Amino acid sequence: MAERSEIRRGDLRLIDLAPGPWPDAVRGALEAVRLGRAPLFGETRRLPRSLLAAGFRRASFASGIELRARLPAEVSVTRAGGVADRGRLGHDAQNRLSERLARECENHAATALDEPRESWLPPDDVRREQWRIPSPLSGRMVAWVDIFENGSLYRSIPYWFRVSCQVPAFRLNTTVGEGETLGSPSVRSESVDLAALAPGERPVRVLRDAVARRTLAEGRLLLEEDIMAAPAVRKNSLVQLRVVSGSVELELTGTALTDGAIGEVIWVRSGLGGELLRIKVTDKDNGVAI
């Protein structure tokens, strides 16, 4: 058995290292002895004499023929037929990550953290690639490519990047209390790096008809969890309401006794005799009696 051997398939068998010629019974027995996965393209695997000797003993038992071989201290195995990616995977990783960032960011950047490297891959006709970019968005992100050979996983390669993702945001100029309207001059607009925020923090990007969910301190970056929609009806505001009874429909004006969002039911004191009515809020300062 030679000290160096080059094989082509991904499954390393004893027959690959001792091709013969052999009788059919012996060839079949050597083919059945699996020595593990073949080395990756561009890499070398070293097999010790003890592993090879054990393989020949198994083949001898299976064939019923005593096999003797002169074995070196170890055999170096390489794999033929690979193709160099020439940096293509690293380029694809950056493009795919940039596509992901473009869906979330106004401005973005992705800088490779690793030196460009060349990978050896299975031939085109047996290779399939599958990309994965795990969440969440953060300052360091990875793009994984899973390489498959004839349907089986050949290897997974990570490509790491330093990421920035600029999005519009708002910061408080003053402390605001619970239920207070958020807008100028209590807030100012700015840009924030989404990748630098803690996981789960989502800055408010569009601020319209919103109030503070709780008391918020001056200088705080406004997050989605900090705000809620402003009530369509405010307490003590005038409300236009419709009262429908059979074929009769009246339009009245009343005073809201509580705040109410669209779809909520609140109490209103009508301007006609001060009667209390339950209404369903349908729009800004509008509702229908129920």
Q: Is residue 77 exposed (0-12), middle (13-18) or buried (19+ Cβ within 10 Å)?
A: buried
Taking only the tens place, the pLDDT of each residue in 43-59 is 999 999 999 999 999 99
The CA distance from 121 to 40, in Å, is 8
Domain membership of residue 76 (yes or no) is yes
Mean predicted confidence (pLDDT) in 169-194: 94
The answer to whether residue 138 is domain-embedded is yes
The pLDDT tens digits of the residues spanning 5-25 come to 999 999 999 999 998 889 999
Domain end residue (candidates: 80, 115, 136): 80
Between the CA of residue 127 and those of 9, 105, 158, 279, what are the distances in Å?
13, 33, 18, 65
CATH code at position 282: 2.30.30.760
CA–CA distances in Å: residue 154 to residues 70, 130, 249 = 32, 12, 74
Confidence bin at 69 (pLDDT 50/70/90): confident
Average pLDDT over residues 79-106: 93
- C-alpha torsion sign, points 67, 68, 73, 74: negative
Q: Are residues 106 and 145 in the same domain?
A: yes
* Residue 152, in any domain of the structure: yes
Give residue-wise pLDDT tens across range 198-240. Answer: 888 999 999 988 999 999 999 999 999 999 988 899 899 999 9
Contacting residues for 52 by C-beta, under 8 A, at least 6 apart: 1, 14, 17, 35, 69, 71, 75
Q: What pLDDT sits at residue 63?
A: 93
Q: Is residue 196 part of a domain?
A: no
The pLDDT assigned to 261 comes to 85
Instruction: State which of 80, 112, 137 marks the end of a domain.
Output: 80
Q: What is the pLDDT of residues 144-156, one digit of tens each?
A: 999 999 999 999 9
Q: What is the pLDDT of residue 141?
A: 95
Mean pLDDT computed over 104-108: 92
The CA distance from 114 to 286, in Å, is 60
Q: Which residues neighbour 214 within 8 Å (Cβ) at sequence distance 6 or greater?
A: 178, 226
Q: Residue 78's pLDDT band (boundaries 50, 70, 90)? A: very high
Domain that holds residue 220: 169-191+202-229
- What tokens were used for 13? 């068998």
Is the per-residue pLDDT at 256 higher than 80? yes
**What is the model's pTM?**
0.70
Q: What is the C-alpha separation between 1 and 57, in angstroms, rounded?
A: 15
Are residues 223 and 176 part of one domain? yes
Go through the chain and tell me how many residues it has. 290
Residues 150 and 208 grouped into a single domain: no
Same domain, 15 and 40: yes
272 pLDDT higher than 80: no
- Per the structure, the count of domains in the chain is 4
Which range, of 27-36, 138-147, 246-255, averages the lowest pLDDT? 246-255
Does residue 14 sit in the same domain as residue 73?
yes
Return the residue matching tokens 């997050």: 223
- Among 42, 58, 80, the domain-final residue is 80
Res 165: pLDDT = 94
Task: Give the DSSP H or E segment for 131.
Answer: strand 127-132
Looking at the predicted structure, is the pLDDT value of residue 91 above 80?
Answer: yes
- In what helix (H) or strand (E) does residue 89 lie, and over which residues does it extend? helix 88-102
pLDDT band at 1 (very low <50, low <70, confident <90, very high): confident
**Is 93 found in the same domain as 146?**
yes
Do 151 and 122 reside in the same domain of the chain?
Answer: yes
In a domain, 157, yes or no: yes
45 and 18 both lie in a single domain? yes
For residues 71 and 122, membership in a common domain is answered with no
Note whether residue 49 is domain-resident. Answer: yes
Q: pLDDT at residue 279 above 90?
A: yes
CA–CA gap between residue 254 and residue 239 (Å, rounded): 5
Same-domain pairing of 180 and 150: no
pLDDT at 269: 93
271 in a structural domain: yes
In-domain check, residue 176? yes
pLDDT at 128 over 90: yes
Residues 51 and 118 in one domain: no
Q: Looking at the structure, tell me whether residues 100 and 115 fall in a common domain.
A: yes
